[in-house]
Amino acid sequence: MVEAVDDSRQKAILNSAFQAFSTYGYRKTSMDDIARGAGMSRPALYLHFKNKEAIVSKLTEFYYVEKTAAVAAALATQGSVAEVLTHAIQTQTAGIAKILASPHGLEMLDNTKSMSSEIIAEGEAGLAGVYAEWLSQQERLGRVRLLTSAAETGRTITATLKGLKLIGAGADVYEQQVAQIAALISAGLEVK
């Protein structure tokens, strides 16, 4: 997994690419569109990325670096199991509704899945590991009751959230489903 993007030029390119993909769709977005949005020439863009596929890969890497850190921070907060887990799940899914609301959202998700499957698998495993570590800690403290291993429960959480975004139900339905999943998982884990 790569480190978070530090280069301000690279950040500008990634932001521009995300906006262009959301607006025009992946297929209709050109490297010129991305360069223009990043405030640079197309040749300057090629100094950073060789093609749109490379940009999608970097966007995917950046997404997982950011989300893994954000979920870990959310799980480190104080509160009931339900409050902390719901906060972590909402942190992980923040921004997905915006993608799903885009007319090109499903295309973006499909392209990312097909171009960056290894990055996605590694990122999902990282997120599952963060949840598993927290679940193990909470089990030792007597705050949760696990019916299976912490690792398996962490993988179930991330697989469920990944599945929700891929069914393409729309932004509002997605947000409702995320809230339902957070409540169900929390209720099933918390020791009363």
How much is the pLDDT for 79?
96
Q: List the domain boundaries for the chain.
A: 51-189
How much is the pLDDT for 2?
38
Q: Does the 51-189 domain belong in CATH 1.10.357?
A: yes
Report helix, strand or coil for 170: coil
pTM: 0.87
Find tokens 């890497």 and name the residue.
61
What distance in Å separates the CA atoms of residue 3 and residue 87, rounded to the nearest whole number?
24
How much is the pLDDT for 3?
40
Least confident range of 17-26, 54-63, 98-107: 98-107
Report helix, strand or coil for 43: helix
What distance in Å separates the CA atoms of residue 59 and residue 21, rounded to the nearest whole number?
11
Find tokens 């997994």 and name the residue.
1
Between residues 169 and 72, the one the model is more confident about: 72
